Amino acid sequence: MDIGNDTGRAADSVVAMLEAKIVSGELENRAPLPAERELMEQFGASRTVIREAISKLSSRGLIETRPRFRPIVRKPDYATVLHACGNVVQHLLTERSGIKNLYDSRVFIERALVREAALAARKEDIVNLRAALEDNRNAISDSSEFYRTDVAFHGVLYRIPRNPIFPTIHEGYTSWLAPQWDRMLRSPERNEVNYLAHKAILDAIMERDPLAAEEALTNHLKAAWEFVRVTFDWGEE
């Protein structure tokens, strides 16, 4: 297939060399890249290929570029992956089926997460969940603040497996799945509903009842979807 992997170009060897220098630390993280005219001397290439290489590295998330500013070296991390996906994911969300698929996958993951939580959550996890839930309760009257604490509550769930991939996935969901509607469809009444849903989830987790936790989570997310679907008059799926 080889999308975006233009093998055989001169720029690629430059990319490879710069890539190596970045991962090896020879080019320090957060440090500015040398000037283009210096790089062309260093690699014996024309500015054309140097700039192409820089563009590619930027796409791969290995350097940050702002127009007219020195590119900044950036060691790749999980957030980088997320960002690389983002550009493409957005195209899949123009169709409703794309949104639905993404949302369903979220339900699937979170179901497994709460199940896991009920079975294996540590004391500190429970503490964090209680704190997050408390934040929910205190923010019921402030929809904007409630949104933040809502996301945070789910975030705690994603952190329970202690695998940095999951918080990254969570970030993906929250940034891709229509923060637009999420924000505009909130009200103290709905916040209260969601607070209670979170409470039910936490209760089930604390009772170490995976089935109940899964069910509470499923109800919570399905209800949220229903609300959005009906509000926007999306018809049945």
Partner DNA sequence: GTATTGCCTTTGGTATGACCAAACTTAGAT
Partner DNA sequence: ATCTAAGTTTGGTCATACCAAAGGCAATAC
Listed residue (1, 163, 164, 3) closest to 88, CA to CA:
3
Contact 224, 194 (CB under 8 A): yes
Residues 117-156: x/- map of binding to DNA (CB under 7 A)?
----------------------------------------
Residue whose CB is less far from DNA, 33 or 129? 33
Listed residue (47, 50, 57, 48) closest to 23, CA to CA:
57
Residue whose CB is less far from DNA, 1 or 162? 1
Residue whose CB is less far from a second copy, 65 or 174? 65
Question: Mutual orientation of helices 96-120 and 210-231 as an angle, nearest 10°?
Answer: 160
In the complex, minimum distance from the CB of residue 39 to DNA, in angstroms, rounded to a whole number: 8
Residue whose CB is less far from DNA, 45 or 160? 45
Residues 37-56: x/- map of binding to DNA (CB under 7 A)?
xx------xxxxx-xx----
Residue whose CB is less far from a second copy, 105 or 138? 105
In the complex, minimum distance from the CB of residue 86 to DNA, in angstroms, rounded to a whole number: 20
Which of DNA, a second copy, none sits in contact with 59, Cβ below 5 to 8 A by type? a second copy
Backbone φ and ψ for 187, nearest 5 degrees, come out as: -155, 160
Hey, what's the torsion of the CAs at 12, 13, 19, 25, to 10 degrees? -170
Residue whose CB is less far from DNA, 40 or 216? 40
Q: What are the structure tokens assigned to 82, written together?
A: 């997320």
Burial class of residue 95, CB neighbours in 10 A (0-12, 13-18, 19+): exposed
Residues 60-99: x/- map of binding to DNA (CB under 7 A)?
-----x-xxxxx----------------------------
Find all residues with CB under 8 Å of 104, minimum gap 6, and list them: none
**Pairing state between β 63-64 and 72-73:** antiparallel
- 11 makes contact with DNA (CB under 7 A): yes
Query: Which residues sit at the interface with a second copy, rule CB under 8 A?
Result: 1-9, 23, 48, 51-52, 55-56, 58-68, 74, 76-81, 83-85, 87-89, 91-92, 94, 101-102, 104-105, 108-109, 111-112, 115-116, 161, 163-166
Contact 169, 158 (CB under 8 A): yes
Which of a second copy, DNA, none sits in contact with 25, Cβ below 5 to 8 A by type? none
CA angle 75, 76, 81 (to 5 degrees): 160
> What residues line the site for DNA (CB under 7 A)?
6, 9-11, 33, 35-38, 45-49, 51-52, 65, 67-71
